[in-house]
Amino acid sequence: MARIIVVTSGKGGVGKTTTSAAIAMGLAKRGHKTAVIDFDVGLRNLDLIMGCERRVVYDFINVINGEANLNQALIRDKNCNLLYILPASQTRDKDALSIEGVGKVLEELAKDFQYIVCDSPAGIEKGAYLAMYYADDAFVVTNPEVSSVRDSDRMLGILASKSRRAELGMEPIKEFLLLTRYDPNRVESGEMLSLEDVQEILSLHLLGIIPESKSVLTASNAGVPVILDEKSDAGMAYADVVARYLGEKRPHRFIESKKGFLRKLFGGK
Amino acid sequence: MSLDVNKNYDMQPVLEFKSSTFFVLVLIIHSNDLMMIEQKLREKTSQAQDFFRNSPIILDVRELNQQSHGIDIIKLINLIRSIGLFPVGIRGGDDQQNLQAASLFIPVDMSQSSASSQAEIQKTVTSSPSATSHEVIKEIVVSTATTLINQPVRSGQRIYASGDLIILTQVSAGAEIMAEGNIHVYNTLRGRALAGVQGNRDARIFCSDLQAELISIAGDYKTSEDLKDITPRKPVQIYLQDQALIIKELI
């Protein structure tokens, strides 16, 4: 049975696509056959982050409409042969998605894949709704900032009430928190919400903290998921996230600033 | 009563008293024309015979009395019984009507002037604005059920309870919880909480940590702007006193 993961947030620009690419690659690298689907119809981005934009022929909407079969549309990743990408259509809009169509595609993928990662668009409209509807697990991507936290909270309400699992009265979607763009120095100076502040409002199972890092932008522009940059802090943080999701126990890193650590070492305040 | 139970040596209690709440139909009488009442009652009950068969009924003659239309309660009760309903109480009657009812062993509800029954009446009026004045009979279900929530109430979610509302989890900013009765939040309240939304001025809000965006009882409200001086993480209760919302720490 495939596990369907939705990467969602409500708010835009918090790192959903970066996270989708990273965890899909992480799961595949650990030997699980994984598909990652771009639900952001009309604003296709995932193919760029994955570096496969030149190989897009057919897309998700073509498959839903029966204009192409799944094997024609799936793009095999150049770095990992267990990872496949189903790109969004750039020329259509979210209305081209239908609940039955999405269900059919996911059902077909589930026969062949162990993990299906759904990269949700921002907002709470049709695209985001359909991305989370069939999910088993939700990665809620949040920035340490009040509007992002509130939007995540809203999204959690939708996950709890409007998903297929909620409608059928099944076990609810498992919700995980991913705190991205975290900067311990700015938290210390009070410019940014701390992990505790965020958890006071969301109270979710924390899967990981991804530090604010230059390597994310570099990786995006190069079309390589940041998790493959194993020396970067963001890459290591995503590797931890995947390991924790698969059941490994790893201590959380990147919560405290290096300066803070030194200061503690020398007893200064 | 407890003496009797104690005298029972084989430890098997013979009886006990328990308080319990039931759903009962209230039959509000708007006309004193017994012929019309009979005709309409038969019409209504024939639409759902199983539902109405031997159904207990509380008679409400308050509106009728407000219009100073007298009615023979004995005849009315006999009429209702002949249709197959069981009158189990009367409210809103005057002294003579209450005596008549008591002579037929129909209990009289004296609490009918309380705020809660006013709220009920208000509810029936507001919930059926399209009802014409020709309609003789209206039924309402008196709901005093308690709603219990144990999942977090997230931003954007709305919860409406027709009785009391008990929430064990946090209520996020941007969420809205409403109850016709009291609201209890045994966690942090950050959203909006509206108690007594049908006009019950005796409703109260209780919460263990008040950081709400808005609190309201029977339409009287305060926003977070007015709540700035409240110490967070202290259990409080909120109630109405002389048109003013009082916020008091619970010890």
pLDDT in tens, B26-61: 888 888 888 888 888 888 888 777 777 778 888 888
Gap from A69 CA to chain B (nearest CA, Å): 39
Q: Does the distance separating the beta carbons of B151 and A201 come in below 8 Å?
A: no
Q: Starting from the edge strand earliest in sequence, which strands make up the sheet with B56-60, in order?
A: B108-109, B86-91, B56-60, B25-29, B137-141
Q: Do A201 and B175 touch (CB under 8 A)?
A: no
Residues of B with CB below 8 A from A153's CB? 154-156, 172-174
Residue with tokens 């509106």: B63
Residues of chain B found within 8 Å of residue A174, distances taken between Cβ atoms? none
Contact A157 B173 (CB under 8 A): no
Q: Report d(CA A191, CA A185) in Å as an integer.
A: 9
Q: Is the pLDDT assigned to residue A258 strictly greater than 70?
A: no
pLDDT at position B137: 43
Which of B154, B188, B190 is closest, CB to CB, to A156?
A: B154
Interface with B, mutate which of A175, A201, A202 (most B CBs under 10 A): A201
Contacts B156 to A, Cβ<8 Å: 153-154, 157-158
Angle between helix A214-222 and helix A233-245 axes, rounded to 10 deg: 80
A161 touching B, CB under 8 A?
yes
- The dihedral region occupied by A141, where left means phi > 0, alpha psi between -120 and 50, and beta the remainder, is beta
pLDDT digits over A160-169, tens only? Answer: 999 999 999 9
**A268 or B31: which carries more pLDDT confidence?**
B31
Nearest residue on chain B to A161, alpha-carbon basis: B157
Asked if B175 lies within 8 A of A157 by C-beta distance, the reply is yes
Strand arrangement of the beta sheet that strand B192-195 belongs to: B158-161, B176-179, B192-195, B214-217, B220-223
Q: Are strands B205-210 and B236-241 parallel, antiparallel or unpaired?
A: antiparallel
The pLDDT confidence band at residue B94, using thresholds 50, 70 and 90, is confident
Instruction: Summarize chain A as % helix, strand, coil (round to 5).
Output: 45, 15, 40
Does the distance separating the beta carbons of A154 and B174 come in below 8 Å? yes
What's the complex ipTM? 0.80
CA distance B7 to B63: 49
Give the confidence band of A88 by pLDDT, cuts at 50, 70, 90.
very high
- Which of B150, B151, B155, B159 to probe by mutation at the A interface, max A CB count within 10 Å? B155
- A150 vs B: CB within 8 A: yes
Q: What's the residue count for chain A?
A: 269
Is the whole model's pTM more than 0.80, yes or no? Answer: no
Reduced to 3 states (helix: H, G, I; strand: E, B; else coil), residue B92 is coil
Decide if A153 touches B, using CB distance below 8 A: yes
* Cβ separation A154–B155 shorter than 8 A: yes
Residue of B149, B151, B172, B190 to mutate for A, most A C-beta atoms under 10 A: B172
